[in-house]
Structures are given as C-alpha cells and as structure tokens.
Structure 1
Amino acid sequence: MSTGRTDGSRAAAQSADTTAADGASSAPRTLAEDLRGRDDAALAALLRSRPDLVHPVPADVTQLATRSSTRASVVRALERLDLFTLQVAEALAVASDPCAPAELYALLGVAEDPAAAAALAPALVTLREAALLWGTDERLRLIRTARDVLAPAGGQTGPTGLGPTFAEAGAGLSPGRLQEILADAGLPSTHDQVSALASLSALFRDRTRADALLGEAPEGARGVLNKLLWGPPFGATPPRAVRAAEARTPVEWLQARGFLLPAGRDAVVLPREVALYLRGGLVHRQLEPTAPEVAITRTLDADQADRAAAAQAFTAVRTVEEALDLWSTDSPPVLRAGGLGVRELRRTAQQLDISEQLTAFWLELAYGAGLLAPDGEADERWAPTPAYDEWLRRPVAERWLLLARTWLTATRVAALVGGRDAKDKVLPALGSGLDRALAPEIRRDTLLLLAALPVGSAGDAGALTDRLRWAHPLRGGELRDRLVTWTVDEAELLGLTGRGALARFAVPLLDGDEASVERRLDVLLPQPLDQVILQPDLTAIAPGPLRTPLAQTLAVAADVESKGGATVYRFTPESVRRALDAGRSASELHAFLAEHSSTPVPQPLSYLVDDVARRHGRLRIGAASAYLRCDDDALLDELLADRRAAQLRLRRLAPTVLAAQADPAAVLTQLRAMGYAPAAESAEGDVLISRPDARRTPPRTPPAPVPDGPPPVTPALVSAALKAIRAGDRAATVPHRDVTPGGPLPRTPAAETLATLQTAVLTGDPVWIGYVNADGAARQHVIEPVRVEGGIVTAFDQADEEMHTFRLHRITGVAELAQDEA
C-alpha cells in the first residue's frame, strides 16, 4: 500500500469523524438507544439470528441490549459469522471507536480488492442485524464485548495476530525508561507516562516519520520484525533497558527505539501500532470476501446417481434388519459403564461380514432410531425394541426414511467409536461420550452444498471442508472438518448419495418434505422377491432382495454362503436343526420350500429335512442338574460308552433316563457337537422352542439429541417477544404526569388509587401502576382496567397482551399516562 493512499485515508477518516461529530446529537448514545430506534422487522431479524436472546423473553429493550452484550452471547453470535464478515468485525475491533468508513476501508484495504469492496456493505448489514454493530453509517461502533474478544487488551493475542497497543504494553514501564525511548526515537520529552505512550503511538501512525526511523535500522532488524509481524507478536528474548548508543544487536536497537517493548522477564512484544505500520495499515494479510467454490470430482447421469443411491438405501435397510435379527437370538451384554464391548462388536462384525467401524455405524443408527436398546433386566443385554417389529411391517421406503431422518438429526457420531475421550478411555459403540452437538448442523450444511451443485455432480470432500470452514471459521475447528468427511462417507453408506452425487429423492428431506422422499424412492427400490431357486447341491439362490418373512426364515433354515448380486444359501443338518428348534415341523419346512421355490424341491433337500427331523428330539434334555431322556435304550448305551461325553459325567437313573453333572445348555451344546440332535424340554416335558424374535425390550424411547444452544425461534415466538419487549419498554420509558421517567414506582394513597382506577374503567384510558407480586418483587405495568370490585382489579396488561387480575392492596400507586402516550 502506498504512503500517499494511506495518508489520504487517514485524512478522510478524520474528516468523516469531524462531520459525524457535528451531528452526534442525533446519533444513538448507547446500544439500547440504537435498538429502541429500530423497527419491528429489524428487531425480529435480531431475534432470529440470535435465538439465545429470546430465552427467556427480555422485559424491555434495555434488557435486550444488556443480554446481547454478554460475553457468552457475543461469542455465540461471532461463531455464526462467515470468514469475511468476521474479518470486518476484527478490523472494527482494531479501529477507533467510533470508526469512520474511511478508516475501515484503509484497515481492510478494500480499495485494491473490488470483491471485498462489494462484499463490505452486506457484511456490515449482517453485523448490524446481529446487534454486534451499532451507531450511524458514519460512526460505526462495534459493541465493547466483541472488541474485547477480537482484539483483547493486555498480554493476549487476538485472531488478527496483533499485540497490545502502546498504552497497554507500556503501562509497566517506568517514566524514566519511557523518556529514554522517546529520546532515542527522536521524539521530544513529555511530562507524564500517558503522553509519552501517546507520542510513540503517533510516531508510528505517521508513515513518513516511521519510515525515516526504520531506515536507520541495522541489517537484520527488519527480519526480526517480520517474524512477529503477522503473529504471534511475542518474541522469546530477555528485554534489556538499553540506550541507542549501547545497542549491539538488531533486537537491542529495536528495543531502544520502541519498536519492541518488554512483555515480562523473558519476552518482548511488537506493539499494535508498529505492526499496523509495518503491514501497510492492513489488519489482515489476505481478505477472503467470497466463499471458495466446491470442486466437482465427477458428473453422473442423474438417473444413474439415483439408482445407485436407491440400491444403497435398500442395502442399508437390509443391513440394519440383519443386525437386529442377529441380536434377537444372540443378544450381547451391556457393559457396566454402558455400551457394547469390543469383543462383542468384533463378533457381530464377523457375523455380518463387514468391518467393525461399519458395524458400529449401523448399530448406532438403529439405536438412534429407537429400534435397539438395553432390555433393563438384571443381566442387561442389547436387544431389539417392540418398535423394530412395527418397523419391519412398513414399506422399505418408509423404513429407510426413519433411518435417514435419524442420521440427519442425531448428535451421536458413530465415527468416534474406538477413539479416546478426554480421560484417554476408549469410546465404545452404543456408549456415552459419542454426542457432538455440532453434527446435525454440519450434516445438513454439507448436504445443502451438494444440493446446490448441478444434478448428478459429486463434490470434492476437501472443497466441502474448505467451504464450511469459510462459512463458520470459529465454529467446530478440527471437529468440524472431520464431521464433513464423515458426513460424505456416511451419506453414501445410507443411500443419500450415489457415487458422491446427492440423489434427487433425498433433496426434499432437507426441506422436511418426507412424503416426496418416500414417493420418489419407492419407484427406484428393487421389488422384493417371494421365490428362490433351490438346487440339488443343497443350495438356494436368491437372485435379488427377498421379502422380509422369506429372508428371515431362510436365515434360520440355511446358512448364507455368499452375498452379492445374488445371495446363496446352503442347507446343512445344523441349519435344518435350527429351524426345527425354532418350532418348525418337517411338514412345515416341506410346505415352505415348495411354496417359495421357483423350481421343484430337489430330492436331496427333502431327504435332508426328513433325516434331521427323524433324529430331532429323540434325546430330551431337562434340568436336574440335567438329565437325558430317550425311548431308545441302545442310544443311551451308545452315549455312556462314548468317550467324548466323559466331561458330562453321565450315569443311568433308569433304562430310559441318564443324569448329567452339567447344566442343560452345556449338555445340549456338547451332544450337538458330537453329531446328535437333542431337544431341550420343560419341567412339564414339553419341547422348548427357541424363536428368533423371542428377545425384545420393553417399550423404549430413542436417545434425545444433545441441543447445541437454544432452539431456533419460531415466527410465533418472535411475534410474541416483540410485543412483550415493546410493551415492557413503553412501561419503563414513557413519561408520566406524576412520575419522573426512570424514577421509583408511583405511590399514591389507597383512596386516590381506587378513584383513578375506577375513572380509567369508565374512560377506557390506560394507566401506569406499580405492583408488588407475591414474591415481593416490584414491577411496572401499563394496564387498561376493565373492572374494579372486591379488592380485585381486572385489567388488560399491555406487556403480555393478556387479561390479568391485580390485588388492590398490592398496587403501590397509579399514574395517568402523558397525553401523547395514552
């Protein structure tokens, strides 16, 4: 930046400030005055952009201004700014207060950046809308709290990399040392510390004098300054109170002339005025007024992308179904601290034939959708909920919609499973510690960016990350960047995207139009089959997705041998025995196979079913410790002679009964391992049936998302809040005939209070009262009395626009409103 342009900008800033000062009487003096002068549309925009201000609703504009200036609220508002608007706010934090437009232009360097010049006005509108900026267009004022956050005083470094001012950095220097610095910098001496620091500040605001002084610097001094120029402004070197004539190094030369000031025992700091001078008056090294473009990695035919996404959506539904069916019969225990054990997760992943991370994702999705929960028993286990059975009866599109909606709004992040928390403990699947309140917002923003691309276009994950980093630079940090990457991957897994391109059926989901999503997806989903191809080698081929009842029965009666475009099931003696254990008889299995086979049932398969059924249940195992019962004496003799049964310690109690020194489950497992087909029986002698859907939890509600700050405000809430604020402000600020505005509550004798209220009932005029409630809190009310009787005043309260009753003895006094306010 040239010297002439900088000096001209300074002069323009001073001129603008002088002009503004002439009309200062018409400018708002406080943020409350500024807000009070805004119309309802502007206040509504403020409440929408900063919903924390509405919870609870402020009593009046003064309370609204106070609340909007608190540090927590300001930090939350700054986190919602995009990068360029934040850069404008940072420049205002460094600028004079109030700041003239010319000074702001110079600090941002917009004269050399047309894009920044065009984006500046909208950025100022955003800051003003959020009540971070107030004042007139010629006297811009960033609220004090925002200045403290973005340009902190003292020894802290703000986001601009600028250090403290001369006034802040030199506050600890002795008056004598300050006079030495002034003399070595070629400045006249002063009478006090404040004027000395002001003189140094003015030196570096004058580019001509500062250039002349820096021109005398030894070699290497500029390099030292450059290291501190863009932050951090602190250098690790012991400060020395050295005079110019005694300086031997570039650092000492800079300290002698005030370019560097002490910052503790072992550091020096580059004052803010010096840094701005060296930067050419600029606050930022580079402005970023426009959002980075999202690069397109590939472009697909829209129908192709939709079909790919729909196929994955179907797979997602089936995978969740398969996992929960598995846990219906083999429910894993809940860890004492909550969650799922690592070994159980690994075992489930092996059974599903997918990775552990993917298994955690599908289980977390089912848990978030309310399909999975702990059963609450003493030996607590994870099991499907009754909602799972209802979910199975719905169409596939509707089932997928529940999963997609759950993922989009959930704060639980499955990708964190296996990581470590702040205490260096492993985060288990389905456990605590996986909630991240930022997740739903990042997921939605990422999908919105994909929706903005041409149909069928896949966006680059890195470019999506850069775009959201620009949109919310202060929000999320590294977590935000990781969430974007996880969102891209999980959206593909779930079927929201097909090969990276957002499916057209998923777009209405972002607008809440779930009926359109279901309708569009339904026509793309493959139609489930009700037939399989049975082959003589004891396999069944499913050429496509099967209907849920058929798939569930096959999963019990046969083992999945391979998956892909077609699923291959293999019938074995063990799988047929599973079906018999589940309550199917041989005749039912034959009928089932004949009904669902597109070809005649092969003879080997019929023989297998009959052979297993003939031997199934000949041995009966019950609880003694355990016993074996069989009508075939020879079979029991065979068992007693078999060395493999030695560990069961069998002994004969009767010709048809053996006792075992092991529990029934162990006996059942061992005999099946030996090739027998025993069946368990109850104390009444009935065969015990183990059904796949036997384990269900009691009704459970899904985990609630962790809120990220206050909920967004609704139009109705905004409207009600505006009316309450305006009414409360009116009650607190309007002039009254008998009361000084802003003074104490009105106090009138009881007889006068009663007479005034009765008169107001007749005339219909509003009055101003002081009222002490049951808690002893005194408040002001502007009311329109309707009835006064029995010591009760029934009136319309203008603050909340409702009818209320006021006890006459609690009214401290009454005053009529001024004529222009009545």
Structure 2
Amino acid sequence: MSPPGPRTAHVTGPATSPPGPSWDHPGGTARRRSPWRPVPSPGPAARPPATGPAATVGSVSSEQNGDGPAPEEPGPEARPAPRTLAEDLRARDDAALAALLRARPDLLSPVPGDLTQLATRAGTRASVVRALEGLDRFTLQTAEALAVAPPPGAAGPTVRESLATLLPGEEAAERLPRALDELRARALVWGDGDGGGENPRLVRTARELLGSPSPTGLGPPLAEAVGTARLSPARLQEILGAAGLPATHDPVSAVSALTSLFTDPDRMSALLDGAPEGAVPLLRKLEWGPPHGTVDVANPSRPVGWLLDRALLVPAGPDGDRSESRGERADRSDSGGGTAAAGTVVLPREVALHLRGGRAHREPQPVPPAVAEERVHPPETVDAAAAGQALAALATVEELLGHWETEPPPVLRAGGLGVRDLRRAAGLLDVPEQQAAFWAELAYAAGLVASDGEVDEAYAPTPAYDDWLRAAPPERWALLAAAWLAATRVAGPVGERDTKGKALAALGPGLDRGPAPDVRHRTLTLLAGLPPGTRPDRASLHERLRWERPLQAHRDPHRTGRRPADGTDRGPAPAPAPPDTPPAAEEAPVTLRDRLAHWTLEEAELLGVTGRGALASFARPLLGPTVPGERAPAAPGTAPAAAAGTHGGAAEALRNGRPREEQEAEAAEAVDRAARALAPLVPEPLTEVLLQADLTAVAPGPLERELSAFLGLMADVESKGGATVYRFTPESVRRALDAGRSAADLHSFLAGHSRTPVPQPLTYLIDDVARRHGRLRVGAASSYLRCDDDALLAGLLADRRAAPLRLRMLAPTVLASAAPPDQLLARLREMGYAPAAESAEGDVLLGRPDVRRTPPRRPPEPVPDRPPLPDAALLTAAVRAIRAGDHAATLPHKPKAPASTPPDGGLPRTVMADALATMQSATLTGTPLWIGYVNADGAASQRVIAPVKVEGGFVTAYDHTADEVRTYPLHRITGVAEITED
C-alpha cells in the first residue's frame, strides 16, 4: 500500500461551505467551541529533510526499530516504560508473542533470532502494509488518527485524550480501547500497558504510510509545511505581524507561536472572524481534503492573499515565497519577471483540524454496517432450491467429464483450454461460456480433471474421478463445495486480458487470486449471520466487506479489462472516491475484493451452496464452528436439534493454523457433516423412467448411474431441470448399436427400467435401425464398402450425394472408395444409412471410443497471497527460540559445572545421561542451552540452541548461530550448559 500522491483542487473563485456544523467563520452561525486543545509544536513524523531557515522546526530523533523514545513519565510501577518497540515486545508474555506471530505470520519467515530482530522485521514496510490490510475500518481509522495526533507534552493532552477528540462519539469511545488493543497486539502500536497506555505510539513505518499524505485528507503540520516552502525569515516576520503575534528572529520560535495560535480555539476563531469575505469558504473547500489547491501566488486575490499572509495557506513548494514587499512584486510583475503565475498551496493540519472541530474523519465508523435483508424465503424453500441445484451441479460436472473422457480437449501451448473447446463445452452443457469455465475450473480444483502429460497434451478425467463417481451424491457435492471454498483459482477473469494483453484461458495460468478463499469465507459467513432463508441486499453486503477489510480493495493486478463479445473495449474501472468520502455517496470502484464477492454469490448459487440467494442449511458445516446456526447432524434416533455443532468447517480447518494432519481430518469431518446434512434433501436415485409414445423418456429425478449411462448412450438429452427429458432418434439408437448393443439388449433394458410398457413407436424405431444397421460394411482400401444387397449398392453408386466419396464398383457386392474409413462412415451416416465398420477379418468393430484417464494427479495447490498460518507447535517453538536468542543476546554465558571446565575456559564436557536430562528439561521449560558440538569432519564448535524435541537419539532445536531449526545427533554433543544470569 503506497500512500496516494497529493491531489489538487482549484480553490480560486467562490465556494460554498459543505453541510454540517459551522465552526466560527465570518458571517456564519453562532460559534461552537472546538474541543481541540493547544499543544506544543508537533514534531512531524518521518518527513523528508527540509532545508532553509525553518528546516530544523519539529525535527525528531529516532531510535532502534525506527521508533523515537516515548516520553518518560514517572509512575508507581517499578518497571520503566518501554522506549522502543523491542522493549515493549520484551515485556510481553509468551501468549502475547504467539498472538502476534499468529496475526502476522510473515514475521516467522525465517524465525527471528531475538526480540530486536522481531521488532525490526515488524517495522518493515512490506510487513506493516500486510498488517494494516488485516484491520477493519474503525481500527484503521484509529491508526490514521494516531498518525496525525500531536505528540504528548508536559502541559498538553495525552494521546488518548487527543484520540477522543479526533474520533468523537460515544460508540467510538466505547470501541477505541479494543481498537488500540488490536493495534498493539499486531505490533503496530507500542507503549506502556494495554493498548499502549495513555500515550500509545504508532510505529514509524505506519506513521509514514498513514501520516502524510493522510487518508483522512489532512495536510502536513504547519512546521513541515513551512519547512517545505522554505519561507525566508523576513517572510516569517511578515506572517507573525499579520497574525498579530510578537516578532521574533528565531524561525523555530516563529513557527511555534503560529502553531500555538492555530491550536487555540478562541484565538483561532477571533482570527477567522476578521477574515475578508470569501476567505473562510476557500478554506472550507480544502477542509476534508485533498489539502492542496491551485492559486495565483504572485498576484493572489484579496481572500487568498489574506490567508497566505497569515500562513492559513502555505505554498507547497519553495517557489512560493512572498517575502518581498508588494511594491517589489508589482515592479517585478511589470517588468515581466518573477515566479510562475500559478502555484500549489496546502492547508496546514492545525487549521484543518480547527475547521473540522478537531475530527480526523468526517464520520468515524466504530460499528460495522448491517447487512440489509432483500427478501426472506421459508428456510425449507431455500434448502429445496439449493438441493435441486446441487444435484444439477453434479449432473453438469459428470456430463462435462463424461464427454472429455472420450473426446479430451487439447491443452494450449501456453496452458489452458482453447476458445473453441470452451465454446464447445458451453454448447454441450447448454450454458454460457463463463459458466462452462466455472464448471471446468471446479472439476480441476477438485482433482477430477487434469492434463494427461502426453506429447500431445489433453485434458482428461483423473483416476479420482472414478472414485468420485462411486460416492453417494451428497458426498460428491460436499467434496466439490469444499474444493471450491479452498481454491484460489477463479473462473471470473476467463476471457479478460492480462497485463501483457493475452486472453486468460480456462484451466490456464493467471487465474489464481490469493484473497479468493478469504473473501468467499467472509461473504458466506455474513450470509450465515442473517436469519435463515434471508437473501441479502448486495450493496449492503459489499459495504460490510469493505468495512471489514478497507485496505484489501485493491484492483486486480492481473486485469487490464474484459474482452467483450462485440470486441470493444469497455475501458478502465472508475477511479476511487476522494479520501473520507461517506460510504453512501461513494461510487463503488471495480476492485478485486468486490469482484470476488460478486463471483462468490453467483457461483454459490450455481453450486447449490445458496438457494434463491440465501445460504442453505447443509452448507453451514463447511464454513466453520463460528457460523451462526450451524448444527451437527444428529445421531441415529436423535432429534436434529439435539446435537450442537462443535467442529470447524472445511474452509476454516485450512485457515486456523493447526497441524496439517489435524486440518485435513477436520476438513474431512466437515465434508462428511455437510453430506449428511444434504442427504435427507436428496431423493433416492431412480431405477425407472417414463417412456412415452412421442419417442421420449422422462426421468423425474436423478437416475442410478447404470441407467443414466445407458440412456445417455441410446438417447439424447432434450431438456433439463426438475426432470430430464431424453429423446430417442435413429442416430441415438445407431450409436448404441455401434457400441456393441444388440436390438434384443435395447428391448430388454427398456422393458426392465420403464414404469409403463414400451411404446410401439419406440419398438419399431429400434427394430428398423437394427435391421438396417450393418448391412453396409466399411473396410480399408483406402476403404471399401460391401453389402449383400446388390440393389442397395447400385442405388448408393447412383446417389449424387456420394460423389465426394469417389465410389467405384469392384464386384456386384463390393464398392471401393478413395475416402478413409472414418470419413466414409461419417458421410454415409449423414446420407441416412447405418453402416458398420469391420476389421480385416470381417468382424464388426465397436464404435465406442476408448475412455481416457490421466495418471494419478493431485489437485492444484492454492496460491495464497500471504504466508500460511503457523500451527501451535511452530508458534511454541518459535516463541521459545526468540526468547532464548534474546536471553543469549543480553546475558553472559555461564557454565553449569565449572569443576570440569577445561583449562582454556571452554565449555565443560558432560556425561551423556546428564546432557540428555538437561536437554529434556530445557524442552519443557524453554531454557536456552550452550552446547559443544563435533560435526562429521571432526570440527568442534559451540552453539546456543533452544531445544524443541528430544527423540530417537537426536535433538531438534533452533540454532541461534545458524538462525534456523536444526537436528543434532546426541552422540556428537560434547557438553551442555544452561545460560543463566550472573
């Protein structure tokens, strides 16, 4: 997250003050006393060095980890207040350090050697940006307020008192302690006590990111603005005189006097009361940001000149010094010399805060916005609709992969599915191409389809697809839903162009979006928090997601624009609103998070996770134990309401930082619970269909796999929905005969799986096609055609439609063709014949293509946008190692058994039994050890380790010398000593 560059607003001309309370401006309403209190001149945090007379104004010193020392405040505690972030971390207990590492797992790569390294790493820009992205809006507003709050002084308010003014309101005051605790837990704030005490300190990097320019719309402090403008001492004297302040030749004292004036509500109000007409409205235009505006610095209007003469507006660059007299400026203007006609000015922070009444934000948002209800359906209706869609999802995936197992689509050279193959899949499934891409990506995420790895690569089902087919429908659906929740690949960008201008292909590279699992989980969790059967208002849902992670609204880095069907470019997404724009007035930009949330809602409906826009009850176990209303399935003979869910979901299990084996077991349990919750809503597979006289068969529900496969072979699907309609045609019956079925087989199968007698038209159709099937035989000549019916061959030879085949008679019952056998077969079938292929021995060849399978493949690994959460064992070992390293860095080494110390003062030799006991004890207590070690080459060394595990003749420990976890054979350890204080 890079802070946005300064934006300018033209402030010349009349302006209207924005609505809201009036804060002491001429001709306005009654005065309202600002709660902002005067403080000493605030030292700018992390500003660029300025030059000139005022360059030293507000300068601050910095210490270790980039944080200046906190003011020393005497108190009754024996422990002194921490002066740096490292000292603050050193004062925390192990649980607090583990919580920090869990909240910011990037700090563990690699494990820091001590607390000083941890503090340094926690203050790096990349890590701070990642930590800020995990904050909700009010916690972020608190950090933004800390970035612009004045430092505490001897007579001024504390930082907490300043925050109460910067973030006014009862709800904000109630939520503020928790926000500060959250910031301190993430090591973004440090200080003495909970939430950083009375004077919490924001880490320097966060101050740089949030301070200037500030997301609050505030400009730099006066001291920084004056230093940037490089105002001359003469110009400062003019400003002091115009403001009615005593003259001083010290630039630091001059800026301090102006700062005291601007932070005194009464004196500031009196100053603005004397402003000329139009001056205060100009300030109001910059009040909520951006704080920069463009004015004519050389020849300003009267209101602008009045503001510049009192430093209520300050030139934003060094070429705006108006230190010469008005006469000199006039002479210079007449002669055609001087500065540019227009320049940029900035509104100092102290002036803006007075105009705002001391508020950092237009409206603090301590309470998350509620997700509005768009419509409420009966929960039973929602579950029924979702269950029906879940079955349709299973049928769609099975139909797609059933086609690909016989006609696998090729893999593009760059990877992915070609446009033609995607279009063909969409036609097969009778869905839009975007949905076809989703079903292909879903099967890929579940490990059901993959590249076969051959020379001519193609996508084909994996062996896992066969296992999936053998599972019950509820279990098959739960596996698909769990894979979708955990996948980082998304189908939404398919068809768009990446940053290189290449179209993104389904199953191809460039579709991973790291935040996708988190956005899916948070979106569905919000749905779960609504009353059962409630469909949310999407606008309010998006606003809630923005509140939860306001800094994760970045644009899709892989996207330059969608490729529309008409080939036109829809242009870039709209620009974001200015800082601090009220949510109701903000035109929501097309951000990655908003797009992911939109895709989540659309895909959840397709998959059956939701029904009619509301979350299905059987999908709740997949989301985790914190989801409202989630219940475990009841044991046999128990009422469903009797068993309360206590386990996590599949998505949550992969995010909660526990050992991988435990995560996988919990995810499998969540899948099982979701399948059991869906089972009562799924009808039993049917073994019969309704055959009708119009050559159709109606399946009123899901069919058994054998029946479904047979019907798919001898009939074509005509329509889908609550019931599936199959149509029998001569071509479909011939397809079954080509696959090796006989007419008797077809009659027998239909009679055994029909609730009604087989209609005569269907019987006649089967017999007629079977009678004609195989009368013509095709072989290789290039190809030949033989038939016992001379008249049939003579008619075929005279048929003009057969001219492309270049037929010629070899014998009364044999014709030769120049076309290959497969082309000859296809052409004859197009002409209405029913030929059969035969081998060189004259046997009929089955026309059913071979079923393709890939070698065993693992599902694609997610590509997260952040490090994985550490498990409990890693956290415990890391905290021990950090403590041990910090202890070793601050305390001297003292052998435990000096009696056996060698003459050179090295580490004493230790009996193996004593060494083993010492290391086992250190594993339990976390005590760091000093060991002597001889490697395989006989080289001796001494190391400081933090033992984690002693097992099988080896000790696993964090080695502070190598800064990594290592394993040492016990027989190579020559001595062991605890590291103790003198």
Pair 1:164 & 2:164 matched? no
Q: Show the counterpart of 2:679.
A: 522
CA apart distance, 1:27: 0.3
Relative to 1, partners in 2 of residues 1:591 and 1:817: Cα closer, same or farther, differing over 3 Å?
Answer: closer
Q: Show the counterpart of 1:461.
A: 538
CA apart distance, 1:706: 1.0
Relative to 1, partners in 2 of residues 1:666 and 1:797: Cα closer, same or farther, differing over 3 Å?
Answer: closer
Q: Distance in 1 between matches of 2:966 and 2:700?
A: 67
Q: Distance in 1 between matches of 2:736 and 2:277?
A: 89
Among 616, 619, 632, the alignment partner of 2:789 is 632
Maintained 8 Å contact 1:97/1:140? no
**One-letter code of the match for 2:355?**
L
Q: Show the counterpart of 1:125.
A: 181
Pair 1:752 & 2:904 matched? yes
**One-letter code of the match for 2:185?**
E
Pair 1:317 & 2:394 matched? yes
Give CA deviations for 1:690-724 in whole Å, capped at 9, x if unaligned.
33662333333322211121001212221111111
Q: Show the counterpart of 2:826.
A: 669
Pair 1:211 & 2:296 matched? no
Q: Distance in 2 between matches of 1:615 and 1:563?
A: 32
Q: Show the counterpart of 1:599.
A: 756
Q: Show the counterpart of 2:256.
A: 198
Give CA deviations for 1:453-511 in whole Å, capped at 9, x if unaligned.
22222222222211111111101342112222221222122111222222221111112
Q: Show the counterpart of 2:323.
A: none
CA apart distance, 1:101: 7.1
Q: Distance in 2 between matches of 1:400 and 1:797?
A: 44
Relative to 1, partners in 2 of residues 1:687 and 1:236: Cα closer, same or farther, differing over 3 Å?
Answer: farther
Maintained 8 Å contact 1:533/1:598? yes
Relative to 1, partners in 2 of residues 1:113 and 1:692: Cα closer, same or farther, differing over 3 Å?
Answer: farther
Maintained 8 Å contact 2:38/2:263? no
713-722 or 395-404, which deviates more: 713-722
Maintained 8 Å contact 1:768/1:815? yes
Q: Show the counterpart of 2:56.
A: none
Relative to 1, partners in 2 of residues 1:782 and 1:691: Cα closer, same or farther, differing over 3 Å?
Answer: closer
CA apart distance, 1:330: 3.6
Match of 2:775, SS state, is coil
Q: Show the counterpart of 1:430.
A: 507
Structure 1 residues 605-616: aligned runs within 5 Å: 605-616=762-773
Q: Distance in 1 between matches of 2:907 and 2:476?
A: 69
**One-letter code of the match for 2:182?**
T
Relative to 1, partners in 2 of residues 1:248 and 1:499: Cα closer, same or farther, differing over 3 Å?
Answer: closer
Maintained 8 Å contact 1:782/1:798? yes
Q: Distance in 1 between matches of 2:683 and 2:113?
A: 58
Match of 1:508, SS state, is helix
Q: Distance in 2 between matches of 1:502 and 1:379?
A: 43
CA apart distance, 1:545: 2.0
Q: Distance in 2 between matches of 1:762 and 1:589?
A: 82
Identity between Structure 1 and Structure 2 (%):
59
Maintained 8 Å contact 2:167/2:359? no
Among 605, 624, 629, the alignment partner of 1:492 is 605
Pair 1:95 & 2:149 matched? yes
CA apart distance, 1:55: 2.5
Maintained 8 Å contact 2:475/2:671? no
Relative to 1, partners in 2 of residues 1:761 and 1:507: Cα closer, same or farther, differing over 3 Å?
Answer: closer
Q: Show the counterpart of 2:411.
A: 334
Pair 1:271 & 2:385 matched? no
Give CA deviations for 1:215-271 in whole Å, capped at 9, x if unaligned.
23222222222222212112134543x7xxxx5343333223212222247422222
Q: Distance in 2 between matches of 1:460 and 1:767?
A: 60
Maintained 8 Å contact 2:930/2:942? no
Pair 1:642 & 2:799 matched? yes
Q: Distance in 2 between matches of 1:212 and 1:346?
A: 73
Maintained 8 Å contact 1:621/1:681? yes
**One-letter code of the match for 1:428?**
A
Maintained 8 Å contact 2:401/2:461? yes
Maintained 8 Å contact 1:108/1:283? no
Among 207, 210, 220, the alignment partner of 1:147 is 207
Pair 1:441 & 2:518 matched? yes
Q: Show the counterpart of 1:531.
A: 688
Q: Give the TM-score, by structure 1 length.
A: 0.88
Relative to 1, partners in 2 of residues 1:760 and 1:7: Cα closer, same or farther, differing over 3 Å?
Answer: farther
Give CA deviations for 1:708-755 in whole Å, capped at 9, x if unaligned.
2100121222111111111222111124569xxxxxxxxx99733357
**One-letter code of the match for 1:439?**
A
Match of 1:373, SS state, is strand
CA apart distance, 1:605: 1.6
CA apart distance, 1:517: 1.1
Q: Distance in 1 between matches of 2:805 and 2:256?
A: 96
Q: Show the counterpart of 2:124.
A: 70
Which runs of 5 or more residues in structure 1 are unaligned? 739-747, 785-792
Relative to 1, partners in 2 of residues 1:343 and 1:535: Cα closer, same or farther, differing over 3 Å?
Answer: same
Match of 2:844, SS state, is coil
Q: Distance in 1 between matches of 2:782 and 2:737?
A: 25
Among 205, 211, 236, the alignment partner of 2:294 is 236
Q: Show the counterpart of 2:614.
A: 501
Maintained 8 Å contact 2:945/2:959? yes
Maintained 8 Å contact 1:53/1:67? yes
Among 112, 115, 123, the alignment partner of 2:171 is 115
Among 359, 362, 369, the alignment partner of 2:436 is 359
Match of 2:447, SS state, is coil
Relative to 1, partners in 2 of residues 1:736 and 1:683: Cα closer, same or farther, differing over 3 Å?
Answer: same
CA apart distance, 1:98: 5.7
Q: Show the counterpart of 2:457.
A: 380
Q: Distance in 2 between matches of 1:425 and 1:553?
A: 42
Maintained 8 Å contact 2:39/2:263? no
CA apart distance, 1:654: 4.2
Q: Distance in 2 between matches of 1:342 and 1:293?
A: 42
Pair 1:590 & 2:703 matched? no
Match of 1:696, SS state, is coil
Q: Show the counterpart of 1:742.
A: none
CA apart distance, 1:425: 3.4
Relative to 1, partners in 2 of residues 1:162 and 1:625: Cα closer, same or farther, differing over 3 Å?
Answer: farther
CA apart distance, 1:684: 4.9
**One-letter code of the match for 1:299?**
V
Pair 1:732 & 2:889 matched? yes
Match of 1:383, SS state, is strand
Q: Distance in 1 between matches of 2:350 and 2:542?
A: 35
Match of 1:550, SS state, is helix
**One-letter code of the match for 1:752?**
D
Maintained 8 Å contact 1:105/1:111? no
**One-letter code of the match for 1:6?**
P
CA apart distance, 1:342: 2.8
Relative to 1, partners in 2 of residues 1:808 and 1:413: Cα closer, same or farther, differing over 3 Å?
Answer: closer
Give CA deviations for 1:499-557 in whole Å, capped at 9, x if unaligned.
22222211111122222211111111022111012223222122222122212221221
CA apart distance, 1:135: 0.8
Relative to 1, partners in 2 of residues 1:195 and 1:201: Cα closer, same or farther, differing over 3 Å?
Answer: same
Relative to 1, partners in 2 of residues 1:621 and 1:219: Cα closer, same or farther, differing over 3 Å?
Answer: farther
Q: Distance in 2 between matches of 1:817 and 1:517?
A: 53
Q: Distance in 1 between matches of 2:966 and 2:426?
A: 60
CA apart distance, 1:580: 1.3
Which runs of 5 or more residues in structure 2 are unaligned? 1-22, 24-30, 44-69, 320-342, 555-590, 625-648, 650-669, 919-927, 948-953
Q: Show the counterpart of 1:699.
A: 856
Relative to 1, partners in 2 of residues 1:762 and 1:608: Cα closer, same or farther, differing over 3 Å?
Answer: closer
Name the structure where helix makes up a greater proportion of residues. 1
Match of 2:778, SS state, is strand
**One-letter code of the match for 2:259?**
S
CA apart distance, 1:302: 2.5
421-430 or 74-83, which deviates more: 421-430
Q: Distance in 2 between matches of 1:795 and 1:473?
A: 42
Q: Distance in 2 between matches of 1:795 and 1:360?
A: 47
Q: Show the counterpart of 1:54.
A: 108
Q: Show the counterpart of 1:744.
A: none
**One-letter code of the match for 1:149?**
L
Q: Give the TM-score, by structure 2 length.
A: 0.74
763-772 or 219-228, which deviates more: 763-772
**One-letter code of the match for 2:619?**
A
